[in-house]
Amino acid sequence: MSTVTPQPAQPAHLWRDQVLAGFRRELDTMIEAHEITEFTEESASEAVSASSERLREIARNRDRFGTFYTSQRIGQELGGISRQAVSERVRNSTLLRVTTSDGVSAFPSFQVRSGKVPGPMKKLFQILMPAAPDEWGVLYWMTSPLDEFGGRTAVEVVGDDDWKELKLLRGIAQDDAAGWAAG
């Protein structure tokens, strides 16, 4: 998962060369550390398959969730607020933070619009976050297509800023939060 703001795209062949060079360095390090000790055609095929699947997963997640900000960058995007202020907003359920499997804090960039988290999005977070099994549940909820809105996501509905739709969305969030809380 990317936890930085995307940089301008480069041509595919340059990206491929960069990935292969990085992968080569990682493989060399793992071989030198004896983390990889089997050098068969089968183990090579398994390594390629595992790496390819991970790249596909990253692409699917980027397509669904967009990009993520680091803790420092989210503070900058929200007008230069401190890390303590970021943490307070997370504690108050007005800013969504997810934690990756390797312990990195990541903030979905979709929640920042014009230097702030829109009020309707904060309200959804306040409804969902206390009841959700974890913060990833809220992220999936915010980015899932909703039949009630013709397949648009909660993020898109908030962006459209239609008060009637926002009221309906709040009701859906309350129902889902109640279901999560009931277990």
Report pLDDT for 142: 97
Whether the predicted pLDDT of 174 surpasses 70: yes
pLDDT of residue 8: 63
Report which of 84, 80, 58 is spatially closest to residue 3, judged by C-alpha positions.
Answer: 58
Residue 81 CB: number of other CB atoms within 10 A?
15
CB atoms within 10 A of CB 87: 15
CA dihedral angle for residue 169, residue 174, residue 177, residue 178, rounded to 10 degrees: -150
Query: Which tens digit of pLDDT belongs to each residue from 21-73?
Result: 988 998 999 999 999 999 999 999 998 888 877 777 767 767 678 899 999 99
Residue 68, strand partner residues: 108
The pair of structure tokens assigned to 85 is 């202020």
The model's pTM is: 0.73
Neighbours of 27 (CB within 10 A): 14
**Residue range 116-154, pLDDT digits in tens:** 999 999 999 999 999 999 999 999 999 999 999 999 999
DSSP state of 116: B
Q: Could you report the per-residue pLDDT of 162-172, keeping only the tens digit for each?
A: 999 999 999 99
